[in-house]
Amino acid sequence: MLLSYKWLSEYVDLSGITPEKLAEELTLHGVEVDAVQELGAGITNLVVGRVVSCEQHPDADKLKVCQVDVGEEESVQIVCGAPNVAEGQSVAVARVGGRLPGGMKIKRAKLRGQVSEGMICSLQELGFEGKVVPKKYSEGIFVFPEEVVPGTDAKEPLGLDDTVLELDLTPNRSDCLSYLGAAYEAAAVLNRDVYMPEPRIVPAKDRTEEFVKVKVQADEWNPYYGATMIRGVQVSESPLWLQTALMASGVRPLNNVVDITNYVLLEYGQPLHAFDFDRFGSDEVVVRRAEQDEKMTTLDGEERTLSAEHLVITNGIRPTALAGVMGGADSEVESASENLLLESAYFKPETVRKAQKDLGIRSDSSIRFEKGVDPNRVASAGERAASLIQQLAGGVVLADPVEHDTLNRDELKLDVEADRINASLGTDMSAADMSAVLERLRFGVKEKKGTLHVTVPTRRQDISIEPDIVEEVARLYGYDHIPVTLPNTPSTKGGLTTAQKRKRRIRRFLEGAGMHEAVSYSLTTAQKEAHFRSEEDPRVSVSLPMSEDRSSLRTTLIPHLLEALSHNRNRNLYNVSLFELGSVFHTAETDVTKQPEEKTYLAGAFTGMWETHEWQGEKKPVDFYVVKGVVEGLLAELKADVSFEKAERRGLHPGRTASVIINNRPAGVIGQLHPETAKAFSLAETYVVELDLDALLQAEEKAVRYRPIPRYPAVDRDIALVVDQAVSAAELEGIITESGQPLLDRVHLFDLYEGEHIAPGKKSAAFSLRYLDREKTLTEEDVAAVHGKVLDALEKKAGAQLRQQ
Amino acid sequence: MLERLQELHDEAVVKVAEAQDLDSLQQVRISYLGKKGPITEVMKGMGKLSNEERPVVGAKANEVRQSVQKLIEEKERTLQQAAVQKQLAEESIDVTLPGRPVARGARHPLTSVVETIEDIFTGMGFQVAEGPEVETDYYNFESLNLPKHHPARDMQDTFFVTPDLLLRTQTSPVQTRTMEKHEGKGPVKIICPGKVYRRDEDDATHSHQFMQIEGLVVDKGIRMSDLKGMFEAFVKSYFGEDRKMRLRPSFFPFTEPSAELDVSCAMCGGEGCRTCKGTGWIEVLGSGMVHPNVLKMGGFDPEVYSGFAFGMGVERFAMLKYGIDDIRHFYTNDTRFLEQFIRE
């Protein structure tokens, strides 16, 4: 809502209150002012001029040479390029030495040989936005609709001495979508009076009901409909004060009748509609639900298809207006209209809301009806408009509007205990102070024994329960005056859950390993994920995606991480490893009806060099074992058991992929991207890991138990085994661990060799074994016995031979 | 013989002086002091001497021997020191060459902000609650006093999955879920960080996905002044001791009275500048006293219990804290962006 300071001051005394101060006070008490814009800022030396003569420029087709009376003895010559300039006009003249918005300085100039001492201005040149400039003047200069004394400062009549406050209204404060509403608010905040306009109509003897009937067939949506006949209207341009008031409020002037309905809409917050009665098509107004698929053309020229949930005004045959939203094209007021039917009605928010949503129209009218207008202002707004039409368009207003009226205009009564207000706010106000605050808002208040009996004016549709009253008291009293205390609650044990702590440990570990944390979008496409899963698998899609790219929820974190690697690669950042910890969304339903399963996944993507230290010649590209090492380290950090089993997965290299088994449950995958997949993401050799963390995060915390340091020396034995290439390291290690009991303390692979000196199809794997007895010193015989068993088992189970030196 | 010994002594002195390294010094030692050396030879010949001469020559021989011995030892120390010096000189390196890097990853700035705020609130006795990102209409809207067709639903454009399932537009549904778990008994003191989604076109200041942190306190006798007190503690720990705060009336369907929290602008100290659009204040979060309908739907009796709630945008906090000018940076994962947060 754009609020003209000048216009507002007709209803509330703003003397001594600058627009900036007003903005601050409103903001601090609940109506936020987003911006304060001084109209005419920077304009100097702008006067009204009268075009005395207007001749064609001798050397330029599109220019005219005008003699303009600017209130001085001699007129000045101004060359003007506007197509609509003509003799006899009153116009705005920027004089030599003056300035226009944006700092443009007016200089004496010669245009094609003709002296020009000033500039005749268009409204846009004076800082008005194109969308509020009357169409008539949008391509040329502005012409005053009435004659103004030449030489007068033009800023005042053009409304350029005004300041506009831009309200950022919260949805509950639709009462401030009007000057009167804003005036009540300003008056309450400033503790001043409100002055209401007083419509004065000289009614004719004829009565509206003699010319038109009103039938409302949908009372549930239209409890009040008032129609006033105004005859013999002269449609023309509005007086300047009305045009400038509308323009300051962001509305484009059109003609006096439409401008008046818009003016009253802004003033009262009550939308009105004027029909050209001669083209209405009958003498009967019928308000009814639209028929399914009924069509009508609204005055914006669009054909609309309606449904039974929309309300229409009809002439008994066809719709002439979409109730509360927009008038129809065929009864729109035009310059030739003479007899008007002025509608002032109450349409229920739900039907207007529905029409607005279904048809995608939002008008100044619908945004007010959808929030609920003041039932006590509907009829008076009609009167106000009728009186203005009578005054400004010369019509005869017929007596008594024809009405359909079942509208409830009762004011809400609420009883609120002063103690409860104090208890809720932590304040110590007296009941009298509270009453005073509410009275400033023009609420009725009677206080009895600490209870406030509050009568809420109907303009405040947002007030319905006790906390609403508490809020009104609090905001006018001032949030600044509420004391500062701390909750009087028993102390609570704050902190993170085990799972939350583990997530932090995961992040810390991976950061420590040199990986950056990524955060990517949850919305993705089936197609991107098709590299890793079937496009046919059920997934959770949004019903109206904003773009194809963000149409369904991710089931894996990997594709967006790969996109991030690709983004970096395109910027010559080749060595990147990222991880992401976030939710994925799984469903078993083809047509989703239930909340999907949200799982916490951890994914990593690695490409390029893992470590580089170039001048010492060290370069270690990422490989499978780098990623595996990170996973092993992470799971050790989380005290989980992990093993890896060779696996094949869509999108991954079939020979370089493993299933990750955490605490004996398959919980993820690790592997190299399939070269085709890498290519699809424009990546070089890239490795990924993805783990389902849910079980791990919930697993019981294992306590650390200290184990005494052995008091007896251990015995180390290294063995080099020759086995078939197909035998895995894990198999050999498993055999050693099993057969080395009970003395084997630890075993690890320390060398792997294939090639020269080893038979084709074979490999050499060297293990270091440590034997330990925690009770005594091991003898050579003790070790030989168990070591022999180990070697036997290796030979039997894996065909492993000790390598001959 | 005495002359011979003196001669040998003088000769050895010259040889020792001439020795340039430990090897040649060792040769000198062997040739003069060794068992076959000339001094030993002289001493072997002492038997032929008279009784008077013998002790004199013997003494002289010992003197010469010890003197040479001493000279060699001294020379040996000098040479050893020189050798060490030489080795050290050879081993000298350019200490300005780059060290071997230790990998360091960056914490995402959104994570940093969330964890910082979690730590402040857990220190004040809050627990951290979480909830699903795909929510039901009931938890996201209805239980928060936003029935179907409520005008305030327009404030948040929603991604729907079905008419009843949606991507949560706020972290507030976790309020109701947590209250339900408490079965009508306070105190409840939680914050809920998480991702939320709205149908906004992505640009420098809008993102269809962003993060919020919701807070909720419910107990008997909670007052709006408590909200102010808790914000004071929060503002001082997150933004700094010198920052001022103010509460400004606002509207949220799930709170009443509602308030925006403003913090004095750090750029200008409250004087008014471009960052704060001349107001001296920066809006940081929305809050208010929990609406009785919300308490009721969470299973709490609004006649007995009251509470306050607040919600803040994590991206906004991060943008203010680090001076980031485009919200899309948080989701692009450009390493030139991320690596700036290694020390956070």
* pLDDT tens digits for range B98-136: 998 888 999 999 999 999 999 999 999 999 999 999 999
Measured distance CA(A99)–CA(A42) in Å, rounded: 7
Residue A418 scores a pLDDT above 70: yes
> Do B224 and A564 make contact, defined as CB atoms within 8 angstroms?
no
* C-alpha–C-alpha distance, residues A374 and A458, integer Å: 6
Six-digit token string for A146: 């009435």
Mutate to test the interface with A, among B256, B279, B324 (most CBs of A within 10 A): B256
Eight-class DSSP state of A489? P
Mean pLDDT score, B202-216 = 95
pLDDT digits (tens, 9 = 90+) for A194-250: 999 888 888 788 899 999 999 999 999 999 999 999 999 999 999 999 999 999 999
Write the residue in A479, A567, A594 that is nearest to B249 by C-beta.
A479
Contact between chains at A171 and B154 (C-beta distance less than 8 A): yes
Tell me the shortest Cα–Cα distance from A733 to chain B, in angstroms: 31
Q: What is the pLDDT of residues A489-507, one digit of tens each?
A: 888 889 999 999 999 999 9
Backbone angles phi, psi at A112, to 5 degrees: 50, 45
A543: closest chain B residue by CA:
B161
- The residue in chain B having the minimum alpha-carbon distance to the alpha carbon of residue A579 is B105
Per-residue pLDDT reduced to its tens digit, B26-62: 888 888 888 888 878 777 777 788 888 888 888 888 8
| Calpha distance B251→B260 (Å, rounded) | 9
Contact A519, A580 (CB under 8 A): yes
**pLDDT at position A496:** 96
Question: pLDDT tens digit string along A51-66?
Answer: 999 999 999 999 999 9
Nearest CA in chain B to A483: B225
B225 vs A: CB within 8 A = yes
Judging by DSSP bridges, how do beta strands A576-586 and A516-517 pair with one another? parallel
Inter-chain residue contact A494 with B195, CB threshold 8 Å: no
Q: What is the mean pLDDT of residues B196-206?
A: 93
| Per-residue confidence band for B299, with pLDDT thresholds at 50, 70 and 90 | very high
Q: What is the pLDDT of residue B152?
A: 67
Q: Report percent pLDDT > 90 for chain A.
A: 89
| A294/A307 Cα distance (integer angstroms) | 7
Q: Which of B104, B228, B328, B329 to mutate to test the interface with A (most CBs of A within 10 A)?
A: B228
* Structure-derived torsion over alpha carbons of residues B158, B163, B168, B173, reported in degrees to the nearest 10: 130
How large is the greatest C-alpha to C-alpha distance in chain A, in angstroms? 132
Cα separation of A32 and B249, whole Å? 9
- What's the CATH fold of domain A44-137? OB fold (Dihydrolipoamide Acetyltransferase, E2P) (2.40.50)
Quote the pLDDT of residue A703: 86
Question: Which ipTM was obtained for this model?
Answer: 0.87
pLDDT of residue B156 exceeding 70: no
**Topology (CATH level 3) of domain A2-39+163-190:** Phenylalanyl-tRNA Synthetase; Chain B, domain 1 (3.30.56)
> According to the model, what pLDDT value does residue B155 have?
60
- Report yes or no: B126 at the A interface, CB cutoff 8 Å: yes
Distance to chain A for B125, nearest Cα, Å: 4
Q: Using the beta-carbon criterion (under 8 Å), do B132 and A523 form an inter-chain contact?
A: no
Q: What is the 3-state secondary structure (H, E, C) of A501-549?
A: HHHHHHHHHHHHCCCEECCCCCEECHHHHCCCCCCCCCCCECCCCCCHH
Q: How far out from the chain centre does Cα A32 lie?
A: 18
Give the strand pairing for A163-168 and A119-120.
unpaired
What separation in angstroms does the CA of B41 have from each of A35, B6, B62, B66? 115, 14, 13, 16
Contact B125 A170 (CB under 8 A): no
Span A371-392, average pLDDT: 95
pLDDT in tens, A246-298: 999 999 999 999 999 999 999 999 999 999 999 999 999 999 999 999 999 99
C-beta atoms of B107 and A471 within 8 A: no
Determine the pLDDT at residue A777.
93
Give the nearest partner residue to A494 out of B125, B228, B247, using CB atoms: B125
Average pLDDT score, chain B: 91
A736 has a pLDDT exceeding 90:
yes
Per residue in A767-784, pLDDT tens? 999 999 999 999 999 999
Share of chain A above pLDDT 70, in %: 100
Q: Considering only CB atoms, which chain B residues are within 8 Å of A483?
A: 225, 228
Residue A417 marked ligand-binding: no
Q: Which CATH class is domain A208-405?
A: alpha beta
**Burial class for A756, CB neighbours closer than 10 Å (0-12, 13-18, 19+):** exposed
**Nearest CA among A258, A265, A325, A261 for reference residue A290:** A325
B contact residues 149-188, partner A, Cβ 8 Å cutoff: 149, 151-152, 154-155, 159-162, 165, 167, 186-187
pLDDT at B150: 74
pTM of the model: 0.86
- Pairwise CB contact (< 8 Å): B224 & A424: yes
Mean pLDDT of chain A: 94
Measured between beta carbons, which residues in chain A are less than 8 angstroms from residue B330?
A: 519
Question: Is-same-fold flag (A2-39+163-190; A412-481)?
Answer: yes
Percent of chain B with pLDDT over 70: 99
Q: Which chain B residues have a beta carbon less than 8 Å from that of A613?
A: 98, 100-101
| A-chain residues near B225 (CB < 8 A) | 425-427, 482-485
On chain A, the residues whose CB falls within 8 A of the CB of B300 are: none
**Test mutation, A26, A36, A176, A424, chain B, max B CBs within 10 A:** A424
Closest-CA distance, A642 to chain B, in angstroms, reads: 24
Partner-chain contact B250 A170, CB within 8 Å: yes
Closest by Cα among B258, B243, B245, B286 to A29: B258
Sequence spans of domains, chain A? 2-39+163-190, 44-137, 208-405, 412-481, 498-698, 715-802
pLDDT for A511: 96
Q: Does B248 touch chain A (CB under 8 A)?
A: yes
With pLDDT > 90 as the criterion, what percentage of chain B qualifies?
66
Q: Which two tokens stand for residue A405?
A: 């009226």
* CB contacts, 8 Å: A349 with chain B: 151
B204: DSSP letter: S
| Closest chain B residue to the Cα of A493, Cα to Cα | B125
CATH architecture of the domain with range A715-802: 2-Layer Sandwich (3.30)
Which residues are bridge partners to B263 per DSSP?
Answer: B245, B282
**pLDDT computed for residue B21 by the predictor:** 86
The model's pLDDT over A632-667, given as tens digits with 9 standing for 90+, comes to 999 999 999 999 999 999 999 999 999 999 999 999
For the cut 80, the answer to whether the pLDDT of residue B344 exceeds it is: no
DSSP 8-state symbol, B155: G
Residue ranges of the alpha helices (H) in A108-253? 179-190, 240-248
Segments of A143-182 assigned E as strands: 163-168
Quote the tokens at residue A394.
């010369």
CB A684 within 8 A of CB A574: yes
pLDDT of residue A535: 86
**CATH superfamily assigned to domain A498-698:** Bira Bifunctional Protein; Domain 2 (3.30.930.10)
Q: Is B74 annotated as a binding residue?
A: no
Between the CA of residue A741 and those of A689, A738, A786, A800, what are the distances in Å? 34, 6, 8, 19
Residues B153-181, mean pLDDT to the nearest whole number: 90
Nearest CA to A649 out of A630, A673, A625, A666 is that of A673
How many CA within 13 A on the CB side of residue B292? 11
pLDDT band of residue B248 (cuts 50, 70, 90) is very high
Angle between helices B109-123 and B314-322 (to 10 degrees): 110
CB atoms within 10 A of CB A18: 12
Which of the four pLDDT bands, split at 50, 70 and 90, describes residue A805?
low
What residue in B sits closest to A30 (Cα-Cα)?
B249
Q: Tell if the CB–CB gap between B111 and A543 is shorter than 8 Å.
A: no
pLDDT, one tens digit per residue, over A590-648 is 999 999 999 999 999 999 999 988 899 889 999 999 999 999 999 999 999 999 999 99
Q: Which residue has the higher pLDDT, B153 or B22?
A: B22
Fill in the amino acid letter for A513.
A
Question: Residue A565 contacts by C-beta under 8 Å, 6 or more apart in sequence?
Answer: A576, A578, A605, A607, A681, A683, A686
Rounded CA-CA distance A796/A785 in Å is: 17
| Rounded alpha-carbon distances, angstroms, from residue B32 to A157, B29, B72, B75 | 126, 6, 10, 15
Q: Which CATH number fits domain A412-481: 3.40.190.80, 3.40.640.10, 3.40.50.10790, 3.30.56.10?
A: 3.30.56.10
* B209 lies within 8 A of chain A by CB: yes
N-to-C CA span, chain A: 92
Contact B151 A370 (CB under 8 A): yes
The annotation status of A589 as a binding-site residue, yes or no, is no
Q: Is B195 an interface residue toward A (CB < 8 Å)?
A: yes
DSSP assignment of A648-675 equals --TTEEEEEEEEEEETTEEEEEEEEEPH
Query: Is A471 one of the annotated binding-site residues?
Result: yes
